[in-house]
Amino acid sequence: MIKISSKNKTIYGSIDLESSKSISNRLLVIKALCKTKFRIQNLSNAKDTKILNELLNSFNKRIDLNCEDAGTALRFLIAFLATKEGIWKVSGSKRMHERPVKPLIDCLKELGAEIKYLEKEGFPPIEIKSKKLKSKKLSLPGDISSQFISALLLVAPTIENGLPLEITSKVLSKPYIDMTLGLMSEFGIEYSWENNLIKVEQQNYLAKNIKVENDWSAASFWYSFLALSKSGEIKIPNLYADSLQGDSVLSSIYLKLGIKTEFNEDSIVLYKTKNIAKELELDLSNHPDLALPIIVTCCGLGIKAHLMGLESLKIKESNRLECIKKELEKFNVISSISDSSIKIKKNQKIVQPTSIIECHNDHRIVMSIAPLCMKVDSIKFDDKEVVNKSYPKFWEDFDRLSKNNN
């Protein structure tokens, strides 16, 4: 358990955020597939990245590979192992065994991999008996997890005669696919994306040393803290306007929520303004991870909000829409949710919660709700360690910035 509070309701200082977990995880797969070694600077310390790194470095010495609660690691690892010779069991935590992998497994089977489910059809744990993958045109709907598409694209250059991948419906979380292709391109991979068809020919990754940018999605919590504070100013190094990360759209979204972003050569600085919209309606199908901090910010500011395009939040570490609805009720905030959206009414009075906030084993639930400490005396969470999944220094950074004075 952890209890947090902000005596002065202010937030000042500089934060060196964790590096991007999304970029780090993709680079680890590229490094493992590259025939020449290269160095990755500023690799993420997130638990997911540590798990993926350890498994990629030891897969040829063991049979049983446990991804714990690291969803990206599991999906990327399955595709990677399908390109190697051997037999492996891939498993995870109880929650991981409830998160579907069938679309990815079906595609890998079509390419020649032998994969069987060890418990429930369509879900981990699985057994992989890899064979040499051979080219075949694959089709996937765009409204599934973009990690399935990214996993296939990352291994596509190693497939005999390459991979044509057809996306059969509107793509959700497209910036994550753009990120994957952008990083592949940095390592020499040529591809085409015309209409709904992505083509990657068989080719080799070319080694180069690279530094990972810091995590724009982690910055979202500090935008929220500042928006709900009485006063403050936050500097964040190693974030850039021309980022590969789609979540850099934060800077334009939060302009409507009273936060201005100043872009410098090697950092951003966040300032409070008085320009706050009366209501906010957003389609976040390309940026679903931003939904929770944004809806919490709107609650704290008393803004009417309607966020859409959130289908993928059902299959994250928790069912995030159901969980955030439940926890916000403890602050007297009533929301309505559907399978893909959340709505709140304006001017709901935030009250001190009388019960502990449940973390639901989900790092983003916790870090999204934490900024509400700017509106109440204190908040108690039932799990201090859950933030380690993506942002191990979160509590330390909050403690330091909330105690600083201008």
Q: pLDDT tens for residues 182-199? A: 999 999 999 999 999 999
192 φ, ψ to 5°?
Answer: -135, 145
Query: Rg (Cα) of the chain, in Å, rounded?
Result: 21
User: Quick one: what percent of the chain has pLDDT higher than 70?
Assistant: 99
**Pick from 126, 311, 296: nearest CA to 225:** 296
* Paired residues of 41 in beta bridges: 211
Residues with Cβ < 8 Å from 242, sequence gap 6 or more?
Answer: none
In the chain the domains, ranked by start, together with CATH numbers, are: 2-18+214-403 (3.65.10.10), 21-211 (3.65.10.10)
What is the Cα–Cα distance from 39 to 185, expressed in whole angstroms? 17
What is the Cα–Cα distance from 261 to 111, expressed in whole angstroms? 46
User: What is the crossing angle of helices 146-155 and 71-81, to 10°?
Assistant: 30
pLDDT for 314:
72
User: What is the crossing angle of helices 21-33 and 47-58, to 10°?
Assistant: 10
pLDDT for 169:
85
Q: Residue 69 — very low, low, confident or very high, per pLDDT cuts 50/70/90? A: confident
**Is residue 4 within 8 Å of 398, Cβ to Cβ?**
yes
pLDDT at 406 over 60: no
What is the Cα–Cα distance from 294 to 291, expressed in whole angstroms? 5
Residue 289 known to be catalytic: yes
Contacts of the segment 315-318: beta carbons below 8 A, 24+ positions apart: 315/99, 315/100, 315/145, 316/71, 316/362, 316/364, 317/69, 317/71, 317/95, 317/360, 317/361, 317/362, 317/363, 317/364, 317/389, 318/95, 318/360, 318/361, 318/362, 318/365
Q: Average the pLDDT over 223-252 and give the result.
A: 95
pLDDT for 389:
83
What is the Cα–Cα distance from 160 to 137, expressed in whole angstroms? 12
pLDDT at 316 over 70: no
Q: Higher pLDDT residue, 181 or 316?
A: 181
Q: Output the pTM of the full model.
A: 0.85
CA distances, 139 to each of 2, 86, 111 (Å)? 46, 27, 12
Q: Average the pLDDT over 200-214 and give the result.
A: 96
Count of other CB atoms within 10 angstroms of residue 172: 24
What is the Cα–Cα distance from 164 to 390, expressed in whole angstroms? 33
pLDDT at 95 over 90: no
Q: Residue 146 — very low, low, confident or very high, per pLDDT cuts 50/70/90? A: confident
Catalytic residue among 48, 69, 247, 289: 289
pLDDT at 286 over 70: yes
**Is residue 278 within 8 Å of 304, Cβ to Cβ?**
yes
